[in-house]
Structure 1
Amino acid sequence: MYQFVKYTLMFFLASLSLVSCTQKQGNKIKVGFSQAMTTDDWRKQMNSSIKIEASLRPEVDLYISDANNNIQKQIEDIEKFISNRVDVIIVSPIQSKPLTAVVEKSIKAGIPVLVVDRKIEGENYTAYLGADNIEIGRIAARYIISHSKGSGKIVEITGASGSSPAYERSLGFVQVVNENKRFKIENTIHGNWEGESVKASLKSILGQNKDIEYIFSHNDRMALSAWETAKTLGLEKKIKFLGVDGLNTVSGGIELVKNDILDGTILYPTGGNEALKLALKIYNKEPFAKNNILNTIVIDRNNAEIIENQMDKVDQQQAVIESQQGAINVQEKEYASQNNLVRLLSFFLVIILSLTIYSIYSTISISRKKKQLEKINQTVIHQNNEIQEMAKIADRSNEAKLNFFTGLSHEFKTPITLIMSYVESLIENDKIKGTVLIDEVKLIHKNSNRLLRLINQLLDFRKIEEQKFTLRAINTKVYDFTNEVMTNFKGEASRRNIDFQLICKNKNLELFMDRSLMDKVYFNLLSNAFKFTPDNGKIVISITENQDNSVKISFKDSGIGIPENELSNVFSPFFKASNNNKNSSGIGLHLSKEFVLLHHGNIELKSKQGSEFVITLLKGSSHLEPSEIINAAENLNRIPNLITDYLEEDTEFKEAVLTSESEKHTLLVIEDNTDLVAFLKSKLSGEYVVHTSDGSDAFEKAMEIVPDIIICDINLVDKDGYEISKDLKKDLRTSHIPIIILTAQSNKESVLKGLQSGVDQYLTKPFSLAILKQSILSLLFNREKLRYYYTNNIYRVEPESKFGNPEQSFITKMNDLINKNVENPKFSVEDLADKLGVSRVQLYRKVKAIIGINISDHINNVKLEKAAELLKSNEMNISEIAYALGFTSPNYFSTAFKNKFGISPKEYKSSN
């Protein structure tokens, strides 16, 4: 009984899999076709023929993308095919050179590329299929020579510049014509494959030289346009026209020959079906030729009708094939459906029979097995739950460790900020300058910088592990960059009498590099060199160009070197050489190698009589992805990173004094670190009225104080700094207040998120107090400039630009409302506030903050501006204008007008 049940279940599973298999399609061959354009009939015919061929091959999935004659879109289409991992890519290039790099990328990714119609530069493609364009040019020339009975003067109309067919057809045509001295190419017109591109030039040529016998155009569309141009001059019967394509379409080459418009056209086969056949050969690893040439013939009045009939028959046969293919597909679906139904019925019959037999067996054994199965099931469930729980705990523990590791590293930056800021203050203290203490203070500052660099290396190590680094390469003069980094070590070299040299023959040599990452590589290598080189030693940086388009940057020292058997482990994380008795984290060289690899370069170590690290980088930018390159403008707009940009510089503090002596600007510091709050308050209280918040009441305090500027941390008690900044920038009452983010988070994502929240400045800890003070001054100065602009242009403020300035939008809306109601004496400040959706107090504060005057004065100024316009128009007298604009009396109006414009209304009216 047990064996019977076993075999029944096996049959059950086999039947189930058989039914499911009938419903699954096999793996299809994915073919991506990047078409240059479909604006002409030739391209449409190519698409049609490749679709028909694909319809006959059910194992093929064909994807066609149309670039619309846009080279950038064609590159993106091919990139998409690569990312979607198609099996073969067919490309009909718009231009040769721009597509070379992306085709090579596909080849490197293991995806073969079949180039059709036009070639790319070089031979780095799988195969080419198309007509021999040089031979087409030769055939055209031979045809003209053999049929010429006139002057032998020829005009050639070429295709678009940069197109390989245009170049090759012209090359073959010129070769044959130049061999026969009776014939001469009088003029060459460079078209763009479209008819309109040749008319103006050809009309000028034919107007000057009416003795032209033949016009050879690189396609039939331009040939038709040439005939139309000749017709306007009455020369269409005298000149013979020869084109290329030979399409069997309305206004195609064959029809133009039959209608005696063209003397002949050269058949340029599309090769769509042949392209798909060749692509499948490549996929199936069958033998194929790299260059596959399609045959061509000349179509003239002798054979045009025959070829047209043949093509019509082919089209009819293709239509029949498509119809039959559709019918076959319908039959296959019906067959598959019926077959599945039969299998399903058979399957159910087997199930019913099996269940009948098994039910008899089950009733006998179920009572004995039930308890045992339940017990086993409970054990398995319990064990599975335990495993899942342990996995979750392990994941949480690992994530917690990583977050603790990163968070702790970030937390180190705040106390380092306090240490470095206080030390910088001590360095600038006149009482300490010139004393013996100054050297000790500078030593503290130097070691604080060293500690900060170690923390940054730990954070970089985490980012490398998570693959979060993005290369931002810019064209850089290597000599200047190297010399700039060396400046930080020249003091140490001088103190220890180390011969520190830079050797570079070409001081204008340029490389694409990420300056921030390469700066870290230089610092790591030079720090190691100085650490292990004895006093009176030698450190040499040499930059040399190689013949293989690469550059070698060598860092050679006369230090203790590294044992030969340990050289292979030098770039491993946390490695420490056996002869190294100095403190070392062991991740500097590992990070250096990773950063060099990000540049698609290489770093190696030689250790004989000291150590020599050699970095090899490629010239140019062809080895980099477009997303890895930035331009100079982007680099100039980069957010300064105070962690690295100012790490080794001696900051010269220049205490700035606010120009306003009547009152201090108010400053709100939102920070939960009490030590840092105390430090900022002590350093900024001299210039500003400083208010503080730990973040729990930040929004309320900002509403209460309405400060001139806000300094805010990101990691706070209740809301984070991003949310607080976003809320303040959205609120009408506080949107004008500049916000400075001051945080330990220095990665690109955090900076971007901060700027998206509307903050005006993003500074990272540890920060330079001088730079923080200057940032505050700059933002307040810019706010004053904006206020000055609004005050002097308040009646000419344009609607907000596409950048979305909320103050500009607010003032524009407010001015519109005032101007609409300027002649309404009952219109009050309360009415204006109500229409703007704010309270009277909020309106007063907002206007005062933006333009520096109260709202009543502003409304009065608008009325006076309107009065000036009315006085110029001379349609009303002074009293009428005064009462119309809501002034209580003409005398009060005259006094207010004179205070604003310096002359009375009467004098103003007379002067205008």
Structure 2
Amino acid sequence: MKFNLLNIICLFTMGACFFSCEKSGQEKYSIGFSQCTSISDWRKSMNYSMRIQASVYSNVDLELLDSEDSATKQIEDIEYMIEEDMDVIIVSPLEPNALIPVIKKAMSAGIHVILLDRKINSPDYTAYVGADNIEVGRNAAEYILSKGNDSISIVELKGGDSSTPALERSLGFHQIIDKKKNVHLLKSIKDLNEEFLINSFKNTLDSLEQTPIDYVYCFNDEMAYAAWKIIKEKGREKSIKIIGVDGLNGPGGGIEMVEEGILEATILYPTGGAEVIKLALSLLNNEQVPKNVVLKTTVIDKFNAGIMQAQLDRIHQQQNEIEQQVANISRQEELNRSQRNIIYISTGFTFVVLMLLCYGIYSIVVIKKKNRQLNLTNNKVLIQRNQIQKIANQLKKSHQEKIQFFTGVSHELKTPVTLILSAVESMVETSIKTKGYLEKEIGLIQKNSKRLLLLINQLLDFRKQEEGKFTVRATEINLLEFTATIMKTFQGEAVRRNIDFRFRSLEKNVLLYCDVNMLEKVYYNLLSNAFKFTPDNGSIEISITTNKKEECITINFKDTGIGIPLEEMNGVFKPFFKGSNNKKNSSGIGLYLTKEFIGLHKGTIEVHSKNGTTFSIRLPKGKAHFTAQQLSNQTGHQFLLEEEFPTIKNEMTDGNDIGRNDGNEEVYTVMLIEDNAELSEFIGRKLGKQFNILVSDGLEATDMVFQVIPDIIICDVNLNGDSNGFELSELFKKDLRTSHIPIIILTANNDRESHLQGLGIADMYITKPFSYAILMQSIQSLLKNRELLRYYYTQNLYTSLEAGTSGHQERKFLVQINKIIEDNIDNEDFNIEDLAIHLNISRSQLYRKVKALLGVSISEYVSDYRLERAKIMLLKTTLNIGEIAYKNGFSSPNYFSTSFRNKYGMSPNSYRASITIQTDMD
């Protein structure tokens, strides 16, 4: 009994130990990799990704052998792998022909051979993993052609060996450029060695010194960097753009060189290290694999380099975490195996059920732990994805802000250019007829030239500030005198617009150390904004106070303008900022530069918005906060602009006539809707010699147009108020009262979409800068066309008008009038007020509308309509004169006879008799 029990316990223990070993055992695989060279960073990255991927599989042993650029050594390495009977051999061939026999030998021995990155001139291999090098060359060529230059000159730096990447990248590149007539390959250099490349490329640049070179296409990024150093040495780095291949991440990699501007672009060339290990495992698991596994490539330029770098950094970080987790799992598995063996052996002397129960509990714990690890990993991936999305959104927002900035600056520049060109054109036309007129035109040119200079200086200041190139040159000034001098510049504008512009200070003498140029720009930016957004009859105040306790000076700029929305206050001093209530064009960098300039003086600036806007500047007194280099002994200062708003006699006020022709002939009324006061004044003064001119800045334009019913409307697109020029024009064209008025859109928007939109609404679309002669000719052409249309209506009023009622709003209007008159023709009490009520417009608007369309008053029109119908009844009916008079709304037969005689030169009876006699004679 004792023997049997002892035998059972021993057998059970041996079985438990065997079972433990059986469970822990797993089939091992050996994979060898013959690397052609490990000198380049790209090859090192390939080796690293292979090691990381292989470490994920605990049953895989990976051995890397470096051939050190020797085909002989690579053959020896593969022979060694065959002798070791490795399960899979991965080869990155140095040469396409030398390795064919030894690779064929490995295949004959039943070993899978996978080619990585490079191919051999034989089909005797299991699979190939790598990017399509022909496609890489084609991508580079297509990227260059996408820039759209009329003529492109290229220098090619090819790989120095006979490997497939060296041959195919050049082949793919030539497949594209050789078909393009506008592409000129100036030189193709083969990289035999580094010294040869440098000398040959230097000689090429010297020989093509006078020839423009647009692009240099390089075999890889390392070669591209060497080429860039030579180009920079020759001083041609700004004109020659370099395209590389590899797109490695990290210091010195292709992505970093793209971000630094060394390379124009690089073609991402994946190493394939991770993919080839996965393919090897698929082969060892007897899975079907493709003969060629082609990896995707893409172009990396300045627009996606940051995103690619962020993604690859995250991937690299994940690889490091995976490597660490694999090591921890390996240690944990080793510990787990030891614990499991002890448990199996100890529980072998007790009950099998208890052993299984303990194992089950342990398995549950392990599964939960792994699940937690997986959840943590998933959370990390989600966080990384959100971060990448956030970065992409920030890049998109930054791009949109820059587009808005340059669009705003472009619009700001176009109006001064228009005024300058128009003033010059006017001077040429008038020559030297009137001295005073020329002085006014020259003043306009001078002012807008200075405004352009101010805008350009703002752009340059923004660039200098972004590059950190501003240096303070502080000198002592009297701040009160300085402020008074600046205020003189804006005084003319304040008087013209009736703005209460004042300066307040209890101090008699305030001395301040500052950079006068910077402080002047601060004043101009804040005052320009105040005048831009403060309405006429408003107020602007500058106040200066001294805080002796805190040793600082406070300068306040307060206006009664439109203010800044509370939710947007935090973005006021950011570049490209534009408030949601700002309908005017602006660059968005003035306040940003203001804050930066104040910061360079160790001061602060704050903004408050209540019943207008107040900017408060605090500057420290004395000069202790400046370094010795920042203090200047220079005295005196020439102001940036002598007169930003020169006083020009304004001949108009909103809603009043600018000019009027006092002759007896008909004078047309032109409605000018433009928010730029100078442009309005200029156009109004020029057109006022021939037309009656009405002006609006957009705020009350709708009411003025409906009240006056002008003969023609000239409307800008960007206006004050809630509506733009497109919306106003569409409103006028759809409204019955104004639909007949020709409209000219006058705008700085020169894009195709705006042009099509404008022509779909208005009658003409003129872009700034424009010629005054073209504007004048456009007005005359539209008025002439309206006269032709008026003639057509008057000639066809009672005949063919109703036959063509569809498709023309004015014709429909006249038909509607005819129908209302016809329905009330026998009502002698029916008058013009009744007709206006039926049409839902006022009597005055009806009068202006009919007068504009037909050239006669509405009363004359109704009377003529009644007489024309009576004339037809005299011809076609036997009714007596009295019956015809009453049926056509005349109060008495005598009144009808008098009206008929005045219109046709004979009485109704005489007309009927003449028609009867004529009929008998016929």
Say whether the fold is shared (TM-score over 0.5): no
Provide the TM-score with structure 2 as the length reference. Answer: 0.37
Q: What is the TM-score of this pair, normalised by structure 1?
A: 0.37
Larger Rg: 2
